[in-house]
């Protein structure tokens, strides 16, 4: 069923979670007192519904690069270096153990990347004084250029680590 006011898909019976109206027989009964704050939706952009889902299969395979793509540079770079350091230290172990560790990281990124991104997005929204859509759209979203720069940084770091070790 769709809301007669905002046309959002109604998941709860007789209640729209987006605009907060009560519906009976396709007629609006009441509006909630407080206006809905859509800042997070404006900040994230068109991928808002995907980000609200629990699992992120793209992040499963891209890992920290996905966080960089979502403009979470610091946490993305730190998690990437954490993986590099762990695999450098443990490189002499059985490949099966290394594969298990990699699967653990993939599971972590699948389950927690969206939560990390939403947490960071909410903190960024708090810092923005004006709630205008244009300002929020410029601060949120995605960018691809830093992904390639961080990937280059990781490649250089791994190369230097292996030259130092050998």
Confidence of residue 35 (pLDDT cuts 50, 70, 90): very low
Residues 89 and 159 in one domain: yes
Residues paired with residue 12 on neighbouring β-strands, in sequence order: 15
Instruction: State pLDDT tens for residues 91-132.
Output: 888 889 999 999 999 999 999 999 999 999 888 887 775 545
pLDDT at 114: 92
Same domain, 57 and 10: no
pLDDT band at 11 (very low <50, low <70, confident <90, very high): low
Question: Any residues with CB less than 8 A from the CB of 19 and at least 6 apart, and which?
Answer: 3, 5, 6, 8, 31, 36
Sign of the torsion angle spanned by Cα atoms 118, 56, 146, 138: negative
143 and 64 in a common domain: yes
Claim to verify: residue 158 and residue 118 sit in the same structural domain: yes
Q: Does 139 lie in the same domain as 74? A: yes
Domain around 83:
39-165
* Same-domain status, 65 and 10: no
Give the separation between CA 116 and CA 102, rounded to whole angstroms: 19
Q: Are residues 118 and 144 in the same domain?
A: yes
Judge if 136 and 87 occupy the same domain. yes
Residue owning tokens 């695999």: 87
For the chain, how many structural domains are there in total? 2
Taking the CA of residue 60 as centre, how many other CA atoms within 13 Å lie in the half-sphere pointing to its CB?
9
Q: Distances from the Cα of 82 to the Cαs of 76, 78, 98, in angstroms? A: 10, 6, 14
Tokens, residue 128: 């923005």
What is the value of pTM for the model shown? 0.64
């Amino acid at each position: 069923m769709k809301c007669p006011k905002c046309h959002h898909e109604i998941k709860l019976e007789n209640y729209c979670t987006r605009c907060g109206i009560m519906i009976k027989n396709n007629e609006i009964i009441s509006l909630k007192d407080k206006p809905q704050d859509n800042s997070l939706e404006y900040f994230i952009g068109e991928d808002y519904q995907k980000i609200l889902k629990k699992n992120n299969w793209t992040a499963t395979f891209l890992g920290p690069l996905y966080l960089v793509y979502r403009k979470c540079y610091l946490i993305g770079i730190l998690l990437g270096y954490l993986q590099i350091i762990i695999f450098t230290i443990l490189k002499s172990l059985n490949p099966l153990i290394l594969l298990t560790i990699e699967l653990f990281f993939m599971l972590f990124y699948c389950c927690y990347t969206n939560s990390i991104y939403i947490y960071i997005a909410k903190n960024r929204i708090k810092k923005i004084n004006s709630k205008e859509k244009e300002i929020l759209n410029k601060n949120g979203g995605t960018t691809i250029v830093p992904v390639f720069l961080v990937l280059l940084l990781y490649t250089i770091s791994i190369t230097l680590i292996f030259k130092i070790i050998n």
